[in-house]
Structure 1
Amino acid sequence: MTANKKIYFASDQHFGAPTIEQSKVREQKFVNWLDTIKADAEAIFLLGDLFDFWFEYKKVVPKGFIRVLGKLAELKDSGIQIYFFVGNHDLWMEDYFETELNIPTYYKPKEFTFNNKLFLIGHGDGLGPGDKGYKRMKKVFTNPFSKWLYRWLHPDIGVALAQYLSVKNKLISGEEDVKFLGEDNEWLVHYCNKKLTEKAYNYFIFGHRHLPMNIQLTENSKYINTGDWISHFTYAIFDGQEMVLKSY
């Protein structure tokens, strides 16, 4: 890492929900945050569910979010590295970010090393024990045949239907999961502890749970959940030595 530079992590903005009008207020707040961090950001990790719904037709993407996308393009063009991890609400993301914004897109957790610290970074959905209903649903949604079928819906119908289900269906929205289960019952904690038997990670950074969490797993390992930009407006920072959670 460059001296005096930092790495930022944020997730679960869910732009577009619950309505376009309400979303725009949060979008502007997020853009303002991006403006405040651009002076010392070496890299920005967006850990999924940036949008409450995203589907890429061959020639069409969902309308809106222009200020957010424009700001990300500006920061990327200025030399700040940006990485995007697909979440469960934008799991139909394909190559739009890569071709239009030059932002790499990842579909599974990925290892990174910064200043000799080993990170495992991802969205967090479908990891660890439990969550079986969602895991079954994800297999259906990510099946190539399912995506092919969905593309036959006119975008005006397909996007409207998906936005409705994204907000109303509790299995998709995750509304019932936004409560702390206790460290012994948090399935991402179980996942992290299992991964520690394979490799000595210093930091596990995930989103998805909508709850800011900073949990000490071992003397040299922590699990950080970045929370969300709906209720908490939280993010994580790595300054080269330590990870901290902050709210904007």
Structure 2
Amino acid sequence: MKKIYFASDQHFGAPTPELSLPREKKFVAWLDEVKEDAEAIFLLGDLFDFWFEYKTVVPKGFVRVLGKLAEIRDSGIPIYFFVGNHDLWMNDYFEKELNIPVYHDNREFTFNGKTFLIGHGDGKGPGDKGYKRMKKVFTNPFSKWLFRWLHPDLGVGLAQYLSVKNKLISGDEDITFLGEDKEWLILYAKRKLETKHYNYFVFGHRHLPMIIPVGEDSNYVNLGDWIGYFTYGVFDGENFELKKFEK
């Protein structure tokens, strides 16, 4: 079979559009490479450091990556997008303009007899109660309605500032491995295994590339990021690997 590719946490636009541009070009080069043998591509959130869809307006920029995604999707390769904590205000822009489905929570997939639970990973597992409360506020329809009344120049600028400065709002954590008994997503995966078996739990959010066994023939995968690691996941029908894009 062809390969299934996974990537997450590009955070394009941060810390500034100018400094983000080389990373965006590198990611587009990766998309050009994997499209040659991709059965499907999964993007697991935080593609942008901030994203909000007004009724007729979206944040400017990112034309290279959006154009490449459109090209790949038009070629017939499925692309699946899972919102992260930085782009959780996605609505239907990707679906209407790019024909890319957008998921706001985990989804199950099966490839070649292997079961996957896939998502961004924010707000899962025990702890992180402050962010979980904040996420409920941000995803409330009334909150989104209020934000739309801000002029985009004000609303987007304010949100971009808070995205970088306020870690409670963004949901970001220190990028340090806490140990298997303290990593929330590992604990979450082990709890899910109590009721249903999955071969792979594939998440982003933690920015740490790792594959850790969590049960019999079951692994937790974190994809890393495209800020310092430039890592991605690839499933060839039998095995799952993390690789680093070097170009």
Alignment correspondent of 2:105:
108
Shift of the 57–131 alpha-carbon distance from structure 1 to 2, 3 Å rule, reads: same
2:218 to 204, 221, 241: 221
Shift of 1:173: 4.0
Out of 98-107 and 213-222, give the one that drifted further. 213-222
Partner Cα distance (1:213, 1:176) in 2: 16
Whether 2:172 is the aligned partner of 1:180: answer no
Name the Cα RMSD after superposition. 0.8
Alignment correspondent of 2:55:
58
- Superposition pairs for residues 33-72 of structure 1, below 5 Å? 33-72=30-69
Alignment correspondent of 1:133:
130
Whether 2:160 is the aligned partner of 1:160: answer no
Shift of 1:138: 0.2
Alignment correspondent of 2:70:
73
Alignment correspondent of 2:11:
14
What amino acid is the match of 2:82?
F
**Partner SS state of residue 213, structure 2:** strand
Shift of 1:219: 2.5
Q: CA offsets, 1:191-244, max 9 Å, x none?
A: 000100111100000000011110011231000000110111110000000000
Superposition TM-score, scaled by structure 1 size:
0.97
Shift of 1:154: 0.2
Partner Cα distance (1:215, 1:31) in 2: 29
Partner Cα distance (1:175, 1:221) in 2: 26
Partner Cα distance (1:113, 1:144) in 2: 32
Partner Cα distance (2:224, 2:173) in 1: 15
Q: CA offsets, 1:8-43, max 9 Å, x none?
A: 000000000000101111000000000111110110
Contact kept in structure 1, 2:131 and 2:171, CA below 8 Å:
no
- Superposition pairs for residues 203-214 of structure 1, below 5 Å? 203-214=200-211
Partner Cα distance (1:35, 1:53) in 2: 24
Out of 173-182 and 187-196, give the one that drifted further. 173-182
What amino acid is the match of 2:218?
S
Paired residue total: 245
Residue identity (%): 76
**Partner SS state of residue 216, structure 1:** strand
Shift of 1:170: 2.0
Unaligned runs of 5+ in 1: none
**Partner SS state of residue 149, structure 1:** helix
Shift of 1:79: 1.0
Partner Cα distance (1:184, 1:244) in 2: 23
